[in-house]
Amino acid sequence: MLKSKTFLKKTRAGGVMKIVREHYLRDDIGCGAPGCAACGSAHEGPVLESQPLDRGSSLCPQPHYLLPDTNVLLHQIVNVWRPGTWASVASSLRPPGSLETYVEQKQGENSNDRNDRAIRVAAKWYNEHLKKLSADNQLQVIFITNDRKNKEKAIEEGIPAFTCEEYVKSLTDNPELIDRLACLSEEGNEVESGKIIFSEHLPLSKLQQGIKSGTYLQGTFRASRENYLEATVWVHGDAEENKEIIIQGLKNLNRAIHEDIVGVELLPKNQWVAPSSVVLHDEGQNEDDVEKEEERERILKTAVNEKMLKPTGRVVGIIKRNWRPYCGMLSKSDIKESRRHLFTPADKRIPRIRIETRQASTLEGQRIIVAIDGWPRNSRYPNGHFVKNLGQVGDKETETEVLLLEHDVPHQPFSQAVLSFLPQMPWTITDKDMKNREDLRHLCVCSVDPPGCTDIDDALHYRELANGNVEVGVHIADVSHFIRPGNALDQESARRGTTVYLCEKRIDMVPELLSSNLCSLRCNVDRLAFSCIWEMNHSAEILKTRFTKSAINSKASLTYAEAQMRIDSATMNDDITNSLRGLNKLAKILKKGRIEKGALTLSSPEVRFHMDSETHDPIDLQTKELRETNSMVEEFMLLANISVAKKIHEEFSEHALLRKHPAPPPSNYEILVKAAKSKNLEIKTDTAKSLADSLDRADSPTFPYLNTLLRILATRCMMQAVYFCSGMDNDFHHYGLASPIYTHFTSPIRRYADIIVHRLLAVAIGADCTYPELTDKHKLADICKNLNFRHKMAQYAQRASVAFHTQLFFKSKGIVSEEAYILFVRKNAIVVLIPKYGLEGTVFFEEKDKPKPRLIYDDEMPSLKVEDTVFHVFDKVKVKIMLDSSNLQHQKIRMSLVEPQIPGINIPTDTSNMANNEPERKKKKLEK
């Protein structure tokens, strides 16, 4: 038993309750220094390095540990800390419960002061304790604090103490660390003009009062991409009116940054404005041009249309900052030798940030990361500091890193803590694994996947039963067997949520050992699986459904093409081929049934890059090909997902993780219906079934691509499918699949949702045990929220990656002309799709510094009349594609019109001239 001493802490909460709590002070917490005899075997957890390998500091030459105070830790550690730079004292700080360093709050002392004192006591204790270690011990603990009083007190008590800045400056070996210090010190702002630009933020307590009483509104601040002087605030809560508030003008924006939670005050109605359609980018280098800003703001206001006025407000305070490190590029200051520079983030919604660096010339043309430290009232731009250099702009590695960071995709290598939960290699199936598990290794199981797939998470089997029926099994990798709830591996995969597939890279959700080996259902090895087995008759009606954990041994890993070849081949007659044929037959019946129920077949242009094997540069583009076998696998996966969804909802009506796809509101379809009408086709959108039918009928013999275009448009009308917890919602319907209930079960290697579903199903069939979080619908709702966010971000990252590779492709290809179809018509532009590359782009008819062509936009027809030519949706045009690298940070594909050959309408020659002129003008611009 341990000795313990009791202290009573008496606190009054709310003035009514008297709380008496015990607090046991321990005498068995070690100091963490290796070889310390006094603490003996009491060491546990993180250990100090025996010889701190700090680079020489001119302030304290002998080896030392650092003990930062709480504020330093919070604000600076991420920036300056690198393994080996700072001793790990921080992580092994003695818990406050230890006997020698316990500090009781004194009368009249606030808790911050108490904490400071506790840290000082700990520092003192460490210094004395380390002296005991051995007589000639030079080890010292140095206390780092930015608080002047705290430092003075520490020195009074005989503790060596420095401010963070002093210490980092003394590290003579690493001058670049100074740049990384967050500039919180007041001296950082001395150069600013003393003029105060912004009004003060209200304190949180006043804001909350105001929000309660209704004078202020709380919302998420969303800066505009197009106009840096404008933003909207999405108000939280149920109030239908004032959902969206416009904030216009630098002063009203009041230092809020995209994604912050802010408090907003509504302006009187006579000051309301309409969202301006002007595109404005902050380009001034000079910081004192506040007057100019005001002028610009006036420009915004003159463009106001009386009818369009919307609620307008101003930011009065920040409730929660949502700053993160931002990627971007340095815009070097015009003044030579200057250490202050402006940083332009890649995301246009983030204002430019002022940073201080001595390495501006090396950082120029590089992608860097900068963190915001603060935004003083008298500064036009927020202050920040340099964090990391990502590499040369345009470099493939760098750009990939940027797009991952900007889409918040966690892509760091897995930590040691996470890897420690992986099974030991070599791994075999033990008898313990076989508990609650069926041995299905004798079955003829095979998998069908795209070529080059290493994370195979599904396999199929088919066999005829003695009673004339057939048995079909879907076997899914049993990832939940390896990822146990609550451990670091589980938390990390829950955080990542999904595997992200970029053009030439895969960001795994689970470590590679699992994703490409132990969980991958490769052929001719024993693997653990979760099986869903149906007994069906030959018309694909399910007679019996059974779920079981199993062990399988796949007989073949095929690609879609190989499987297709086997099915079509007349000579092959082995087991695998026969089962494939059986499966294919059933799949066709299933698909027919599904389509009859109203499932939609939508289309989106998907492309695949052919990479050069050495440089990994894209050398060709190819649209994805779909084979019968693709839909065969898909059919059974859908069936498995639906069966599992039914089962887990039956068992856990309150906390099943399901996936729904809400029906889009009718207004979403307007554009599709109008577009079809222009081609004399009718699209019915009242139900999914009628939509599917009318899409099938919509065909034009003269225009075979029309149907695909219509399906692409229909896809754009759809809502996003989302995960949800069954207890938190009552609409389960999956619109696109026309299924009353749906979930994700079949890809646990790459989706975390499937892991949860596996766990639920395992509990439902008694193969695994439950845990509290699994049956907590609020926790589950939180998981769903994160998963939905990660999936969205993964999709965006994927698109961004495709866009980047398309740019690379056209960079090498030069300028090309291609046929394209108009997808949308806008007020001053047309959006076109190039089927050959699956590429979508915008052709603008307005150019800066040029006379505007006469544009007449018709909203009813969707058509745009440019001079005398009318553009309709689905018209065929010819466009020129080239890479516009005038803006290094945002390179983009630029398209310009070459040949508007509109079937049925004669083209006046002068218009085609005009259209032809445009690319030439642009070329000139590029040459400049």
Partner 1 sequence: MAGLELLSDQGYRVDGRRAGELRKIQARMGVFAQADGSAYIEQGNTKALAVVYGPHEIRGSRARALPDRALVNCQYSSATFSTGERKRRPHGDRKSCEMGLQLRQTFEAAILTQLHPRSQIDIYVQVLQADGGTYAACVNAATLAVLDAGVPMRDFVCACSAGFVDGTPLADLSHVEEAAGGPQLALALLPASGQIALLEMDARLHEDHLEQVLEAAARAARDVHALLDRVVRQHVREASVLLGD
158 binds partner 1 (CB under 8 A): no
Cβ contact 715:606 at 8 Å: no
Distances (CA, A) of 544 to 473, 587, 590, 643: 12, 17, 16, 11
19 binds partner 1 (CB under 8 A): yes
26 binds partner 1 (CB under 8 A): yes
| C-alpha to C-alpha distance for 889 and 347, rounded to whole angstroms | 10
Distances (CA, A) of 770 to 431, 759, 801: 22, 8, 39
What is the closest distance, in whole angstroms, from the C-beta atom of residue 19 to partner 1 in the complex? 7
Among 25, 47, 444, 902, binds partner 1 (CB under 8 A): 25
234 binds partner 1 (CB under 8 A): no
- Enumerate residues 724-763 that contact partner 1 by CB under 8 A: none
- Enumerate residues 519-558 that contact partner 1 by CB under 8 A: none
What is the closest distance, in whole angstroms, from the C-beta atom of residue 179 to partner 1 in the complex? 33
Name which of 9 and 298 has its Cβ closer to partner 1.
9
The helix (run of H) or strand (run of E) holding residue 506 is strand 506-507
22 binds partner 1 (CB under 8 A): yes
| Three-state DSSP state, 483 | coil
Among 2, 37, 466, 570, binds partner 1 (CB under 8 A): 2
What is the closest distance, in whole angstroms, from the C-beta atom of residue 772 to partner 1 in the complex? 8
Query: Across the strands, what pairs with 818?
Result: 879
What is the closest distance, in whole angstroms, from the C-beta atom of residue 648 to partner 1 in the complex? 17
DSSP 8-state code for residue 481: G
Name which of 96 and 374 has its Cβ closer to partner 1.
96
Distances (CA, A) of 840 to 89, 812, 881: 54, 19, 11
- Enumerate residues 83-102 that contact partner 1 by CB under 8 A: 95, 97
Instruction: Map residues 893-922 to x or -, x wherever contact with partner 1 holds by CB under 8 A.
Output: ------------------------------
Instruction: Map residues 467-506 to x or -, x wherever contact with partner 1 holds by CB under 8 A.
Output: -------------------x--------------------
Tokens standing for residue 328: 């971007």
Phi/psi of residue 67, nearest 5 degrees: -125, 95
Name which of 769 and 888 has its Cβ closer to partner 1.
769
What is the closest distance, in whole angstroms, from the C-beta atom of residue 205 to partner 1 in the complex? 20
435 binds partner 1 (CB under 8 A): no
The span of 22-30, 413-421, 618-626, 915-923 binding partner 1 (CB under 8 A) equals: 22-30
| C-alpha to C-alpha distance for 230 and 265, rounded to whole angstroms | 16
Q: Name the burial class of residue 147, with classes exposed (0-12), middle (13-18) and buried (19+) by CB atoms within 10 angstroms of its CB.
A: middle
416 binds partner 1 (CB under 8 A): no
Q: What is the dihedral of CA 644, 650, 652, 654, to 10 degrees?
A: 110
The helix (run of H) or strand (run of E) holding residue 909 is helix 909-927
Cβ contact 557:570 at 8 Å: no
Residue 853, amino acid: P
Instruction: Map residues 760-789 to x or -, x wherever contact with partner 1 holds by CB under 8 A.
Output: ---------xxxx-----------------
Instruction: Map residues 42-81 to x or -, x wherever contact with partner 1 holds by CB under 8 A.
Output: --xx------------------------------------
135 binds partner 1 (CB under 8 A): no
- Enumerate residues 826-865 that contact partner 1 by CB under 8 A: none
570 binds partner 1 (CB under 8 A): no
Phi/psi of residue 839, nearest 5 degrees: -105, 140
Name which of 25 and 719 has its Cβ closer to partner 1.
25
Name which of 112 and 487 has its Cβ closer to partner 1.
487
6 binds partner 1 (CB under 8 A): yes
What is the closest distance, in whole angstroms, from the C-beta atom of residue 773 to partner 1 in the complex? 10
What is the closest distance, in whole angstroms, from the C-beta atom of residue 23 to partner 1 in the complex? 6
What is the closest distance, in whole angstroms, from the C-beta atom of residue 95 to partner 1 in the complex? 6
Query: Across the strands, what pairs with 894?
Result: 882
CA 235-241-246 angle, to 5 degrees, is 55
Among 10, 11, 17, 906, binds partner 1 (CB under 8 A): 17
Name which of 417 and 626 has its Cβ closer to partner 1.
417
What is the closest distance, in whole angstroms, from the C-beta atom of residue 96 to partner 1 in the complex? 9
Name which of 105 and 678 has its Cβ closer to partner 1.
105
| Three-state DSSP state, 110 | coil
Tokens standing for residue 551: 């062990």
| C-alpha to C-alpha distance for 737 and 686, rounded to whole angstroms | 16
10 binds partner 1 (CB under 8 A): no
Cβ contact 590:538 at 8 Å: no
Among 15, 16, 241, 814, binds partner 1 (CB under 8 A): 16
Cβ contact 325:336 at 8 Å: no
By DSSP bridging, strand 722-725 and strand 657-660 are: antiparallel
| C-alpha to C-alpha distance for 426 and 178, rounded to whole angstroms | 47
Tokens standing for residue 519: 């969980």
Cβ contact 713:608 at 8 Å: no
Q: Residue 838, by phi and psi: left (phi above 0), alpha (psi -120 to 50) or beta?
A: left
Cβ contact 862:674 at 8 Å: yes
Name which of 125 and 796 has its Cβ closer to partner 1.
125
The span of 10-18, 105-113, 381-389, 596-604 binding partner 1 (CB under 8 A) equals: 10-18
What is the closest distance, in whole angstroms, from the C-beta atom of residue 47 to partner 1 in the complex? 13
1 binds partner 1 (CB under 8 A): yes
Tokens standing for residue 102: 């316990």
Number of residues that bind partner 1 (CB under 8 A): 24
Tokens standing for residue 376: 């003083």
21 binds partner 1 (CB under 8 A): yes
Among 10, 14, 20, 435, binds partner 1 (CB under 8 A): 20
| C-alpha to C-alpha distance for 285 and 331, rounded to whole angstroms | 9
Q: What share of the chain is helix, strand, coil (3-state, %, to 5)?
A: 35, 25, 40
Name which of 30 and 473 has its Cβ closer to partner 1.
30
Which residues lie near partner 1 (CB under 8 A)? 1-2, 4, 6, 16-26, 44-45, 95, 97, 486, 769-772
